Amino acid sequence: MADIGHRLIVKPEVVAETVVAMAQDHSVAEIVVGKRRDRPLEEMLLGSVSRTVLETSPLPVLVVDGQQ
């Protein structure tokens, strides 16, 4: 992953909307978000931010499992 460009941006706004807007503003190729793993029942579920980004983004979205 060392050759994958990335940038950390901290903004006090609605997270999912900001992720999609910033990705579009910066002409990124795809958005990478993490899958929620708080409790066993939620292992198969996406968190609300990941789900909203996945459902609203016109850009490709990759959902990764942070536990692997």
pLDDT tens per residue, range 23-66: 999 999 999 988 766 655 554 556 788 889 999 999 999 988 86
Report the distance separating Cα 14 and Cα 35, nearest Å: 18
pLDDT tens per residue, range 7-33: 777 777 788 999 999 999 999 999 998
* Predicted local confidence at residue 58, as pLDDT: 97
The yes-or-no verdict on residue 3 having pLDDT over 80 is no
Q: Which tokens hold the place of 7?
A: 């940038």
Domains and CATH numbers, the chain: 15-64 (3.40.50.620)
Q: Which tokens hold the place of 44?
A: 């198969």
* Predicted local confidence at residue 1, as pLDDT: 54
At 43, phi and psi to the nearest 5? -60, -30
* Predicted local confidence at residue 6, as pLDDT: 77
